[in-house]
Structure formats: structure tokens, C-alpha cells
Structure 1
Amino acid sequence: MPKTVIIPEGTGKPLAPFVPATKADNVVYVSGTLAFDENNNVVYVGDAAAQTRHILEIIQKVIETAGGKMSDVTFNHVFVKDWADYAAINQVYAEYFPGDKPARYCVQTGLVKPEALVEIASIAHI
């Protein structure tokens, strides 16, 4: 099955050997996305809502680059550093998925940088 690498304009270099997304058979797989600037520094340190918004803006840009829209997202994998941020994350998350919500799971875990409070990976069918 052929695949296409999706790298939106202005995307920073990943910290590890991966790409922002791949598309195969009209399915877009978005890598785990954190609130990083173009130099892989965490932005909005201490603010889970702002980090979530930043992450979802990046995911939206990736999905749109692949030819889709956020309503095409069918599944999200959400990782949180602290359950205390869960409500703030959900409030922002709901703004990006106002209609039918995608399936998802959410787990508490350590993230790649200590300042990171949330990470989201997505699957979209476009």
C-alpha cells in the first residue's frame, strides 16, 4: 500500500525519526503532537488549555494539508501528565470537535519533555 508523508509548511524538525503524519488509502495518521515551537521548545508552560489549543491547531494544519478537515478525525489518543488538567483540556478539545465527537482514549503518563502537559495523536478518514 503506497503512503504519502504529510509535512505542513513551517513544520519544525521532529525530535526523533518520525514525520508529522502519513496518509494511506485516504486515512491520515497524525503522530503524537506536543505544544512545541519550531525549535522544539515547549510553549505555554504551565497552561494545559493553551497547550491543548496549540496542539489542536497543529493537528488541524496537518489534516488540512492532507486534504481533510477536523470533522474527518475519527479517533484521538490523548496523553495527559496530570489528571488535574483534564477539565481544561476537555474544554478546549470540545471547541475543535463541536459536532459528533471522535472516539478517543485518555491516559495519564510522563511526556517527552517535563514542561509538556498534554500530547494528542489522531486518525482521520478523508
Structure 2
Amino acid sequence: MPIELINAPGLPVPAGHYSHASRAGNLVCVSGQLPMRPDGTHTGDLPFEQQAQQALDNVSTVLAAAGAGLKDVIEVTVYLVGVDHWKTFNEIYTRHFGDWKPARAVLPVGALHYGYLLEIAVRAWVEPA
């Protein structure tokens, strides 16, 4: 089965040796999305709520480039700096996903690049392109 590497239009080209997502058949794996703005500028100095919104927007943009959406997500992994923002994250996450409740893990971490307070990776299941 061929594997398609996906970089989403409208997001900065990944700075490391990875793609925004990869797709093999029905499975789409979205690399961890930081709350970087589409123009490549950082949001590490912004409040948690704005960072969470941007990271979830980035996830949605990558999913769209892969022909998927939030309702196709089957698993979410969130790396959250500390646990202080857990409740706020859950509220913002719920606004994005609504009644859709894919499997999820929220992992407290010590620090992320550029002062970011979270990173989000997802897996989605979609029909082949």
C-alpha cells in the first residue's frame, strides 16, 4: 500500500524531518501540531486559550488537506505543559469536537518549544482518495 505524505497548504512547512500528516489507505496520522500561526509566527507569548484554539485550527487544516475532518478522528493525543490548563483545554476541545468523542490521551509534559503550552496529534479514518 502506498503511503502519501501530506503538507497542508496554508500552514508553515514543517521545520523538522516530518510531514504534517501521512496517509496509508484509510488511516491518516497527523503529526503533533503546535499553536504556530499559519504565517509561521509563534504564539508562545499568548494566553493558553488562544494557543489551544490555534493548535486545534492547525489540526483541522491538516485533516482537510488529507480529505478528512474532526468527525473522522479516531484518536487524539494532547501534550499539555503541566496540568493547570486541563479543564480549560477540555472546554475548548469540546467546542471543537461537539458530541464526537474519539479516544483521547492528555499527557502532562514539562516544556515545549517556543513557550508553547500544548501540542496535539490525531489519527483519523477516512475513505481512500
Q: Could you say whether these structures have the same fold, taking a TM-score greater than 0.5 normalized by the shorter chain as the test?
A: yes
Give the number of equivalent residue pairs: 126
Distance in 1 between residues matched to 2:113 and 2:39, nearest whole Å: 13
The letter for the 1-side match of 2:106 is C
Per the normalisation by structure 1, the TM-score is 0.91
Shift of 1:66: 1.1
The letter for the 1-side match of 2:13 is K
Per the normalisation by structure 2, the TM-score is 0.89
Query: Secondary structure of the residue that 2:85 maps to in structure 1?
Result: helix
Gaps of 5+ in 1: none
| Equivalence map 1:1-126=2 (5 Å) | 1-38=1-38, 40-43=40-43, 45-126=45-126
RMSD after superposition: 1.6
The letter for the 1-side match of 2:68 is G
Residues 34-65 of structure 1: per-residue CA shift (max 9 Å, x gap): 01135644216241221111111111111111
Shift of 1:75: 0.3
Shift of 1:19: 0.7
Distance in 2 between residues matched to 1:27 and 1:84, nearest whole Å: 33
The letter for the 2-side match of 1:98 is G
The letter for the 2-side match of 1:123 is R
Q: Kindly tell me: are residues 80 and 88 of structure 1, through their superposed partners in 2, closer, same or farther at Cα, counting changes over 3 Å?
A: same
